[in-house]
Structure 1
């Protein structure tokens, strides 16, 4: 959910993914027996991270108006993704049971499914063929569907169009072009070359995975059972990031950047290139931005052409302890229908999962980055799937940060990461 909080801080009028719907507190366990029906239908709770926008309120009010016997109550959990995950897990374990439908980060699907906390879903119940194909993979575990994609996301390269135009250059399609322009064009105008999210947190896991994937490598395979990171591709990907800091075209201060710090640096005119999520487009186009009207966005570059982004976003899942699973599945179908998905974009400013919306001429006029975002999503890949994803992410970010900070060579960093991931995989 980190990408959702970043969007919330970056946009004043359009914050994150769900809404400021005035939700009442979730009912206590003893109150949940009221209205329980044997046909799987009845009232529900929908749990999601906090710091939410205002668009879902009317959406849920529409559902409640049309389904008075199956009303949904929104439960807003803390802003922190770690706290949200912890509260969800506490409720999903035996003795919990407040939550029926959960809006979970795409990286949590495998963990929750492997633990038996969320129920498998029927593929033919949902129009998966209408979604952008890569997003469906984030909702599966061991070949089964355990959630339904709700919001997607993919990293993009934001660039200073005005500065590239003055230099007679086009946006980079390869790492070599990015590095050359960051080293030669940026200093002419007194700006930094390139930045992403390089503080050791989930954002660095994403940036590292993108570099490894773009080079043709992998981190884990076989649903987390196989360590795949000890490869030339992984050494090339981590080496690319480490070389950027060593040679100065990645500013050292970027080692402390999360989404918002990096967005602000670009928006303040301090960077030539930025890797970030699409939400940054609106902030950089808004009042007070020094680069409004002067920038563009393209897919991430790779070694020999367009690279591979990591998929972000969230999926909707049904708790294995849901009181009314049929109503829960119907609510998910409603929230992933085309009408609500359009509102995800137009009112929530977040990337929908419905493919047709990316080709809608009116939407493309309103959101000019949609074609590039579509290309990024179609070329994207999920984060490493593992029942122990949190430990995997901590290992990736710690090792990558040491390599970028020049504390360890990329070769040594990859060997160390392979060993740490092997130890994690043995915990299955």
Structure 2
């Protein structure tokens, strides 16, 4: 058996037996017309069909320049990364467009897995976008991945609880310390993501940035970057995590909680405050419509900007989202760039926000009447994304995140010694002296 590569076609992995021409012909018949437009393969994150719709719209609008076929990636960021790293490391030329979680751009770019956009392409692809999402797609001053969707966490609170506690979460100076005191005073919970996974890293990073610090110094130095958690900001972050986790406001499942567990806690009778993504409001409204949640709970939900760590310093809300990149080994890079420009156009990003509940990276989307009708908090989401703080932009992000979530877990074990211990562990992991 020998592998045959068909020039000009997309059947890169067709297998044929030299002694079985009929089998070879059968395999070739599944490859499509050799003279037709190329079919671009776009590896997408799971959604409710919004990506498929955008792909079809752009294929139709291309005037026959290309077709687009979607392949769905795993639901978790870890699974998505593992699949793409394996395939791109093998120089898989069937990957034309790839959805990249915001934390993996640096790794993929540094490894040569994705094609850099030219300066002219970058200007076209990011015009009108909020700066923070664009930063997540940039590595060493070059755009490698164009923002497809963005996100930022908000503070969610039960209006009745805040009123009884005598606090106003919408006050620009509202802090974590005030929130903890208010929750304890009312015997209510603060729902967070404290499981040992990426959501916990999101929490820790936001606290450190909001306190004026950073996880890494010289993050673009790769393995030579300097861990920087042992700082006033890192110590304050540890104080907040540990104090909450050991308080009466800690949900019983905090050390295992992800986004949906946090939402369930917040909507329960003990719910007081929650840090979570914008989707939770639509989810609550949907639950009320199908009868699984009392409408009174939905009516009691308020929202505000991510709380401050220090009263005199604005918070940097957690930043999420996904970007689109061109596979470095694609046979059709020019068509892939054209498809991304179409897929990421502002009208499509705005519609995706309405249909899929995924915030747009474009500032103008939040002025759209349909968006404003769907999102009562549109201005807050735009502001939060614009002023959000990214997680460290490093090609060794997986090592950094793993070292932190391991050292800071469970949350009730976090003390003033945790930042220094984490820095030492992170440095050893980056240098290859220890394994996660």
Same fold, judged at TM 0.5 (above) = yes
Q: Provide the rounded CA distance (Å) in 1 between the counterparts of 2:34 and 2:232.
A: 56
Cα gap change, 1:46 to 1:27, in 2 (>3 Å):
farther
Specify the alignment match of 1:170 in structure 2: 168
Distance in 1 separating the partners of 2:45 and 2:248: 37
Asked if 1:152 corresponds to 2:114, the answer is: no
- Aligned partners of 1:311, 1:295: CA distance in 2, in Å? 22
Contact map agreement 1:36 1:324 (CA 8 A) in 2: no
Cα distance, 1:264 vs structure 2 = 1.4
Aligned to 1:23: none
Structure 2 counterpart of 1:323: 331
CA–CA distance in 1 between the matches of 2:161 and 2:228? Answer: 39
- 2:421 is aligned to 416
| Contact 2:11–2:31 (8 Å) recurs in 1 | no
Counterpart of 2:129?
A: 131
Matches of 1:36 and 1:204, distance apart in 2: 49
State the Cα deviation string for residues 182-226 of structure 1 (Å, max 9, x = none): 121x32xxx32x121001111101011111111111001322423
Aligned to 1:204: 200
Return the alpha-carbon distance in structure 1 between the equivalents of residues 195 and 260 of structure 2: 12
Aligned equivalents of 2:12, 2:44: Cα separation in 1: 17
Of the three residues 151, 158, 161, the one matched with 2:159 is: 161
Q: Separation in 1 of the partners of 2:179 and 2:235?
A: 19
CA contact (8 A) 1:150 1:314 kept: yes
CA distance, structure 2, for counterparts of residue 209 and residue 78 of structure 1: 25
CA-CA distance at 1:270 after TM superposition: 2.9
Query: 8 Å contact 1:220–1:384 — kept in the other structure?
Result: yes
- TM-score normalised according to structure 1 size: 0.85
* 1:146/1:95 CA distance change after superposition, 3 Å: closer
For 1:33-44, what aligned pairs fall within 5 Å after superposition? 42-44=38-40
Stretch of structure 1 that moved more, 205-214 or 251-260:
251-260
Q: Does 1:267 align with 2:267?
A: yes
C-alpha displacement of 1:36 = 7.7
Tell me how far apart the structure 1 counterparts of residues 199 and 127 of structure 2 sit (CA, whole Å).
30
Larger Rg: 2
The aligned counterpart of 1:294 is: 300
Mapped to 1, the partners of 2:349 and 2:246 lie a distance apart of 43
5+ long unaligned stretches in structure 2: 1-9, 15-27
Match of 2:194, SS state, is coil
Q: Find the counterpart in structure 2 of residue 240 from structure 1.
A: 240
| Distance of 2:59 and 2:127 partners within structure 1 | 27
Distance 2:264 2:235 in 1: 30
Equivalent pair of 2:251/2:265 in contact (CA under 8 Å): no
Instruction: Provide the secondary structure at the position in 1 that maps to 2:324.
Output: strand
Matches within 5 A, 1:272-287: 272-286=272-286, 287=288
Q: For each residue in 1:325-360, what CA deviation from the matched residue of structure 2 results, as whole angstroms up to 9, or x when unmatched?
A: 011001111111111111111111110011111233
Give the distance between the partners of 1:36 and 1:53, measured in 2 at CA.
32
Q: 1:268 to 1:226 in 2, by over 3 A?
A: same
Partner of 1:15: none
Gaps of 5+ in 1: 1-25
Aligned partners of 1:158 and 1:295 also within 8 Å: yes
Q: Which residue of the other structure, out of 80, 94, 97, is the alignment partner of 2:93?
A: 97
1:104-143 superposed matches below 5 A: 104-125=100-121, 126-143=124-141
| Partner SS state of residue 158, structure 1 | strand
Contact between 1:48 and 1:84, CA under 8 Å: does it hold in 2? no
Residue in structure 2 matched with residue 55 of structure 1 by the alignment: 50
Q: 1:35: Cα distance to partner?
A: 6.9
1:286-339 alpha-carbon deviations (Å, 9 max, x no partner):
323242121111111112154212210000000100110011001111111111
TM-score normalised by L of structure 2: 0.84
1:182 corresponds to 2:183: yes
1:405 alignment counterpart: 412
Deviation at 1:228, TM superposition (A): 2.0
Give the drift of 1:368: 0.7
SS of the residue corresponding to residue 29 of structure 1 reads coil
Distance 1:29 1:368 in 2: 50
Other structure's SS at 2:338 match:
helix
Whole-angstrom distance in 1 between the partners of 2:217 and 2:68: 38
Give me the whole-angstrom Cα distance separating, in 1, the residues matched to 2:368 and 2:130.
14
- Distance in structure 1 (CA, Å) of the matches to 2:48 and 2:321: 15
- The CA deviation at 1:239 is 1.2
Counterpart of 1:396 in structure 2 is: 404
The DSSP-based 3-state class of the residue aligned with 1:274 is strand
Partners of 1:381 and 1:93 in 2: CA distance = 30
CA deviation profile, 1:386-416 (whole Å, cap 9, x unmatched): 21111111111112224x223x52x321111
